[in-house]
Each structure stands twice: as structure tokens, then as C-alpha cells.
Amino acid sequence: MAVLYIIATPIGNLSDITHRAVETLSLTDLIACEDTRTSSVLLQHYGINKPLFSFHQHNEHHKVEHILNILNGGQSVAIISDAGMPGISDPGFLAIRAAHQNGHTVTVIPGPDAITTAIVASGLPSDRFTFEGFLPPKKGRQTRIKAIADSEITTVVYESPHKLVRFLEMLDDFCDEARWVCVARELTKKFEEINRGLLNDILADYRQRPSVKGEIVVVVAGKNYSE
């Protein structure tokens, strides 16, 4: 039976892949990935040699049709992204929805993602949280940051390194009282950094650095949280 597999892959450390993910990638007929060069490194590391095709945010609409054709022809497809769980701030959703709508089986092989790794590492309340993904670059950005400042529960944001200081500054402008935050950078990689503390102190720290590099998740505690 043709299946659409959604397979989580490492967010940095190549060892962070499940046995089932490797097994499924070895058995599937084709693999759809964002950047074939990035995925080739992972697949070669695990001795997986399957036909790859590109499936990224710029061709996603068009490639969904291609994926449906493959499934209709009786072959299975695995979707992987450059890092973590496909469909989380990465392509996947459109293909998953189309597969369901066309009566195909969708099987998710769980594994790493930056959201849960960051919120757990932060030591900030994780019983309830909002995931904001990437904030819009311009229109609506301020409104979303104000909503984060007003939130009573933890918020998780994906942010690029060059916008980090500006994000923390805007958040600080909207926060009336001291706020706990955690900047989780380069998770699972050699230079992993979990930088938690009060917003003022964290902001001062990044302001005095000549530059900020790497992949970043910001975890912002709810407005009434203190420790």
C-alpha cells in the first residue's frame, strides 16, 4: 500500500535520528526533501540510497500534484526537511492535507524538532505554550510581539540571528514588568547555547556581542511568571 511518510530528521546532531526513521527511509520508494545536498549528507551517513526530488516552499504547490501521482501509482513517498519535523515552519502541510483528501495513508515518524527541544531546555513553564513560528518581517510584526508581551503563557518563536536583538528590544518595549526569556541557539550542535534569564540582562548580553550567529529559538515566559 502506498503511504506518505513524514519523517523527522536531526536539527543539528546527525546521531539524533530514530531507528524507525532510518528503517523507513531505506524502505520508501522516493524521498522528497528541501535541499537535496543537505539531505544527501544525512542519507549517505546512514547508507540510504533512494531517488530524491526537491520539495521546498517555492515549488510546494506544484510538487503536491507530483506526490499524489506517485501515491496513486502505488509507490510510497517520504517527506523530510532540512531539519526537524516537516510541516513545522517547513513544507509538508499541503502534501499531508492532499494525501488525506485523496484517501492515502499518512504516517508520521516522530523525532527531533526545535520547538520542544528549546522549551524543555529553557526550564520555563511548558505545561501550556503558544508556538508563533517565524514572525512576519514587517506588517503585523509589532502586533504579534505585543501579543507575546501580553500572553500569560509561554511563547516559542523562531528567529533569525540578525533580527534577535531587535526582537528582544521590541519585546522589552511592550513588557511592563521583568520578563523571563531563554534564547536557545545551535541546539544539539557543537556550540549549543541555552541563555536564560531576565529579558533586560539577556538583551544587554546580545547587544554587546559583535555578532550573533546560528539558528535560534526564543522562549518567552508568560507575563506573571517569576522565580
Residue numbers of the site for ligand SAM (CB under 6 A)? 11-12, 81, 83-85, 88-90, 113-115, 158, 184-189, 215-217
Least separation in angstroms between residue 119's CB and ligand SAM is: 11
Least separation in angstroms between residue 22's CB and ligand SAM is: 18
Indicate the residue whose CB is closest to ligand SAM: 84
Q: Judged by CB, which is closer to ligand SAM: 146, or 189?
A: 189
Least separation in angstroms between residue 9's CB and ligand SAM is: 9
Q: Judged by CB, which is closer to ligand SAM: 71, or 219?
A: 219
Pairing of strands 77-79, 30-33: parallel
Q: Judged by CB, which is closer to ligand SAM: 9, or 24?
A: 9
Are the C-beta atoms of residues 106 and 3 closer than 8 Å to each other?
yes
Least separation in angstroms between residue 136's CB and ligand SAM is: 15
Q: Judged by CB, which is closer to ligand SAM: 61, or 75?
A: 61
3-state SS of the chain: helix, strand, coil percent to 5? 35, 20, 40
Are the C-beta atoms of residues 174 and 145 closer than 8 Å to each other?
yes
Q: What's the distance, Cα to Cα, between the start and end of the chain in Å?
A: 53
Which residue, among 32, 23, 28, has the nearest Cα to 3 in the 3D structure? 28
